[in-house]
Structure 1
Amino acid sequence: MLNIDIYKLYNPEIKQEFLNNFDGTNDTVSTLYYTLKKASVSEKEANKDLFEMTANELDIVFHTASRRTENSVRGFISNIMTYIKWATDKGYRSTNLPVYTADSISSKASEYVCKTAATYYTQEELMEYYKKITNRGDVLILQCIFEGIRGRGYSEIFNLKADDLSKKDGKFYVNLYDTEKGTEREDFEISEFLYELMLEVEGLTSVYTITNRKVELVPSQYILKKTSKGNRGRLLGEKLTTSYLNNKNIQYKEVFNSDDFKYKDIERSGVMHYLSKLMKTKETNIVGNEEYIAISDRFSIGKYFHSHYEKEVVNYSAIKGMIDEDFYEEHYGEIKLS
């Protein structure tokens, strides 16, 4: 059995029986546990187990889960219904309560998407959203932020060049230059997806707008290039500026179906994804200074110059503030922030 606290669930003995007898991988059982843990708040308020609830009461459970994407909603509802079906087969449910089908789950998913809370994403969820973005350069920007590439004024992104890419022993790297801050980071490891994406965007000579209109790109030494539309006087080799991202924000809000879309939330999503990889090498689930420092280095966050020690130090509280424990535990497992 996984290292989970069954007593955080409503009717823990029944839930434990369900989880112990579920025929699935550890990851699947873990996902079911966190679904039930989230639902336990509503169960305790209603003083009812999920298998005792009416359709209206289940609606409340689905809403209060605060899922931020339709796929996440579908997964949450499907997990709940898996548990209810099991309880029915075991004879725990005596009333004729409704059971959602796969089609009904899909049709109702949008009703339960939470559009007001801060929104975080796993890499898998981001990949689904990337399919909706016509300009691959706009995908590159989000993936860079997710993997820790930003810089002051996003200059690390705008300074990207194909010549700074490299790969060695199955790993992929890029040299980063923050010209606004005057710093550089050599051999910054990136995912194979981002490496291939950078090469793809480098080779583009035109892009399509959200209205499916083709626009030519101005030749440049940089991977991300400006469009020639309405800018006849632009010089070759000009870099993009922060205003480009400000204008793109409207498009991203539409793609992510969120009026409160923030680049910072993409970064925080990346922090938690990176932390999950760091924790895989640990024997405990306690996040310590080693992990906070690694996050600070990779994302260039939480550092300040300490006048007394006359050196740059890490503000651990700032790093902790980047980690949403509920989101992390739901997708990556339980942790304890030291």
Structure 2
Amino acid sequence: MSEFYNESVKSKFLMRYGVGSQKIFARIFRFSQSLEEEYGTDMSNFTLDQIGAVLKKLKPASEASSRNSTSCIFTYINWAIEEGLSSLSVNPLSDKTLDWCRSFIVPITELSEDKLYYLIKDCVNAQDAVILRLIFEGVKGDGCAELLQLTMRDVDFERGVLTLTNQDQSIRYLEVSHQALYLIKLAARETLYQKKNGSFSGTTKNPHTRLVENEYVIRSSITRNENVHAADKFLIYRRLSMLSEVFQLPKLNVNMIERSGMMKMAKDLLEAEGKLEREQYFKIAERFNIAKRINNGIEEYNYYPLRSFLNEKAVREMYNL
């Protein structure tokens, strides 16, 4: 099965670009494939309404994302016209305004793993990227204690297991992904923190701050008072608030990232075990350290609140299962 509709033409187009740009265009081509099959023609021949259908499928979360996707489609159609591979003589996107791009924006309420990947890729600071990844994989604790108290001594890189300490000093062990381990290493090595994800203004006196040197993976910037202790939860909140503003994702916060991670785990369980029931909810609750309750004299995870957003229908819709 071909990866793209009219694959030979699209492959020829992609060869003009570097690996990074190829990935961006390829993502759009994968989304357009089903519509190209439905319309019986390559995207380079699409009408404006048909191009709009592609953008609706892409579900851009921000103005920048919608504008970038539109620009990619515009570039592909222009190339096809110049190469004589399109039936069009004029690019339908030639006179489209920013308002037109904005009309396709779908605010993100949950992050798929793909969207998280692109967010992390766009993080200038590993100190920020590691927060996104670890929360997504179930590391949080009361007041973000598991995040803030994590040191390199707590990371078993061979087994891929973290030793996590909560606010009440209770300890648990959690296996994490290779990407999480990689980001932990990068974050621990960082000595400078780039303000505003590197998008500081020309009037900014210092575009970066120096990070505290202590044993913790996630660290605050140096102030007048030397800080050998773990940072507080407000550091996490401030950094996520900054990323929310930079990436134009107003709902980006600890709870949203955690819920998104639960959705990803539910998707994996649904694919592996074919159902999303009590047993699967318990596995999710254990990983994300959900509170327990006494039920008929037995202590068990209180997974019932999860079902309001974490259900088979929602998971299938989010991951196109």
TM tier, smaller: 0.5 to 0.7
Match in the other structure for 1:142:
132
- How far, CA to CA, are the matches of 1:281 and 1:313 in structure 2? 23
Match in the other structure for 1:233:
225
CA contact (8 A) 2:112 2:260 kept: yes
Match in the other structure for 1:305:
293
Match for 1:189: what amino acid? E
C-alpha deviations, 1:278-298, integer Å up to 9, x for none?
23322x3x2121210000000
| SS in structure 2 of the partner of residue 313 of structure 1 | strand
Per the TM alignment, residue 146 of structure 1 is displaced from its structure 2 partner at its CA by 0.5
Per the TM alignment, residue 141 of structure 1 is displaced from its structure 2 partner at its CA by 0.8
CA contact (8 A) 1:63 1:112 kept: no
1:213 to 207, 226, 234: 207
C-alpha deviations, 1:56-114, integer Å up to 9, x for none?
69858966996536379959x98xxxxxxxxxxxxxxxxx9999879999x88842453
Is the counterpart of residue 196 in structure 1 residue 212 in structure 2? no
CA contact (8 A) 1:205 1:216 kept: yes
- Normalised by the length of structure 1, the TM-score is 0.64
- How far, CA to CA, are the matches of 1:68 and 1:324 in structure 2? 23
Match in the other structure for 1:332:
319
How many correspondences in the alignment? 266
- How far, CA to CA, are the matches of 2:238 and 2:320 in structure 1? 36
- How far, CA to CA, are the matches of 1:177 and 1:142 in structure 2? 18
| SS in structure 1 of the partner of residue 315 of structure 2 | helix
Cα gap change, 1:124 to 1:333, in 2 (>3 Å)? closer
- How far, CA to CA, are the matches of 1:234 and 1:254 in structure 2? 29
Unaligned runs of at least 5 residues, structure 1: 1-21, 37-48, 79-95
2:146 to 151, 156, 161: 156
Per the TM alignment, residue 276 of structure 1 is displaced from its structure 2 partner at its CA by 2.2
- How far, CA to CA, are the matches of 1:134 and 1:313 in structure 2? 41
- How far, CA to CA, are the matches of 1:135 and 1:261 in structure 2? 17
Moved over 6 A (4+): 96-105
| SS in structure 1 of the partner of residue 226 of structure 2 | coil
Is the counterpart of residue 266 in structure 1 residue 257 in structure 2? yes
CA contact (8 A) 1:132 1:255 kept: no
- How far, CA to CA, are the matches of 1:64 and 1:124 in structure 2? 14
- How far, CA to CA, are the matches of 1:225 and 1:295 in structure 2? 28
C-alpha deviations, 1:196-239, integer Å up to 9, x for none?
111111122222212272311221111112211xx21233x221
| SS in structure 2 of the partner of residue 133 of structure 1 | coil
Per the TM alignment, residue 134 of structure 1 is displaced from its structure 2 partner at its CA by 2.2
- How far, CA to CA, are the matches of 1:104 and 1:274 in structure 2? 43
- How far, CA to CA, are the matches of 2:262 and 2:95 in structure 1? 35
Per the TM alignment, residue 130 of structure 1 is displaced from its structure 2 partner at its CA by 2.1
Is the counterpart of residue 183 in structure 1 residue 170 in structure 2? yes
CA contact (8 A) 1:115 1:258 kept: no
* RMSD (CA atoms): 4.1
Per the TM alignment, residue 127 of structure 1 is displaced from its structure 2 partner at its CA by 2.0
Cα gap change, 1:184 to 1:110, in 2 (>3 Å)? farther
| SS in structure 2 of the partner of residue 280 of structure 1 | helix
CA contact (8 A) 1:55 1:97 kept: no
| SS in structure 2 of the partner of residue 148 of structure 1 | coil
Match for 2:263: what amino acid? M
Match for 1:292: what amino acid? Y
- How far, CA to CA, are the matches of 1:251 and 1:296 in structure 2? 29
- How far, CA to CA, are the matches of 1:119 and 1:103 in structure 2? 32
| SS in structure 2 of the partner of residue 305 of structure 1 | strand
Cα gap change, 1:102 to 1:272, in 2 (>3 Å)? farther
| SS in structure 2 of the partner of residue 281 of structure 1 | helix
Cα gap change, 1:197 to 1:103, in 2 (>3 Å)? farther
Unaligned runs of at least 5 residues, structure 2: 5-26, 41-46, 74-86, 201-205
C-alpha deviations, 1:159-217, integer Å up to 9, x for none?
1010111134xx511110102x442112x110111101111111222222122723112
- How far, CA to CA, are the matches of 1:206 and 1:172 in structure 2? 26
| SS in structure 1 of the partner of residue 258 of structure 2 | helix
Identical counterparts, % of pairs? 21
- Normalised by the length of structure 2, the TM-score is 0.67
- How far, CA to CA, are the matches of 2:89 and 2:309 in structure 1? 40
